[in-house]
Amino acid sequence: DTGVSQDPRHKITKRGQNVTFRCDPISEHNRLYWYRQTLGQGPEFLTYFQNEAQLEKSRLLSDRFSAERPKGSFSTLEIQRTEQGDSAMYLCASSLATGVNFYEQYFGPGTRLTVT
């Protein structure tokens, strides 16, 4: 499977704990995006990387959230001191940044986070 992969697919944690999610983009894609989706809503943008540089961050990304893409390949999203309001599906997407098709973003299967 050469699509976007995410790990874990499901995570249940207690309030106050830290969690980390991983995303592996489509291999030739140099842009990687994180979104969050809650029930009944569309995905909301969190942040994006071009190669290893984090170029855009949403105001939704509070100080408790941090994302990295250290070698321009996979990315991690960490949430510190989780709150119940963090419960959501965390989606990763990737795209090319050059060529005809550089606009299209392809999503991974998501990580569903439940904070109890």
Partner 1 sequence: QKEVEQNSGPLSVPEGAIASLNCTYSDRGSQSFFWYRQYSGKSPELIMFIYSNGDKEDGRFTAQLNKASQYVSLLIRDSQPSDSATYLCAVKRTTGFQKLVFGTGTRLLVSP
Tell me how far, at minimum, the Cβ of 17 lies from partner 1, in Å: 24
Q: Which is nearer to partner 1, 59 or 71 (CB)?
A: 59
Q: Which residues are 29's β-sheet partners?
A: none
> Does the protein bind partner 1 through residue 103 (CB under 8 A)?
yes
3-state secondary structure 19-36: EEEEEECCCCCCEEEEEE
Helices of type H across the chain: none
Q: Kindly give the pairing relationship between strand 10-13 and strand 111-115.
A: parallel
Q: Which is nearer to partner 1, 74 or 107 (CB)?
A: 107
> Does the protein bind partner 1 through residue 104 (CB under 8 A)?
yes
**Interaction site with partner 1 (CB under 8 A):** 31, 33, 35, 40-45, 48, 55-56, 58, 89, 91, 103-110
